[in-house]
Amino acid sequence: MSDLYGTRADLLPRSMVKVARAPEGESRLLTWVGRPGVRLLDLQEHLRYEAASLRLFPQNRDGSIAWAKVAGDLVVHAEDEGMHVIGEFIRDDGDLVIMWGSLTIPSVLLRATEALPRISEILDVDAVLWMYRAGALLERNFFEGTVTVARVLQT
């Protein structure tokens, strides 16, 4: 997994990443970095956020959440093609972690206010994505045509 994670930062919207000179001693001359206000997470950070959010719920084989197995009182909102739900989720300011269905695409940390103007580009990156903020998780599953928001109970 560590060999694959984050290898396709080039799939992120150009409004979120840019090419920069790689740190001294790296085998490559250039690397992808987050633009101001956007931080690309390394594998350990990604795993920490995933454990605090996504992994608290039962999952299907494809990694999406098995919502039918989630306690009903945790599901805040579930709807088909819920663009307004996504807008409401990121409208409140605060840190937001975005994780995609493919581990080759690095997860990012940014302020919700930074995500709002980029939302259509963010949704175009991958068919499945999760947005996590303290106390809540949103899953957008393009294959199923659903957007679901759940409360995340801190353990």
Q: How far apart are CA 24 and CA 124, in angstroms?
A: 33
For the segment 28-57, the average pLDDT, to the nearest whole number, is 94
126 CB neighbour count, 10 Å cutoff: 19
List the alpha helices (DSSP H) in 92-146: 112-115, 119-124
Residue with the two structure tokens 């799939």: 11
Lowest-confidence segment of 16-20, 92-96, 118-122 by average pLDDT: 92-96
Is 79's pLDDT higher than 90? no
Neighbours of 1 (CB within 10 A): 8
What 3-state class would DSSP assign to 87? helix
Query: How much is the average pLDDT of 4-18?
Result: 95
Put simply, whether the predicted model's pTM sits higher than 0.85 gets the answer yes
Confidence of residue 80 (pLDDT cuts 50, 70, 90): low
- Amino acid identity of residue 26, one-letter, is E
Longest Cα–Cα distance of the chain, Å, equals 51
- What percent of the chain clears pLDDT 90, i.e. is strictly above it? 68
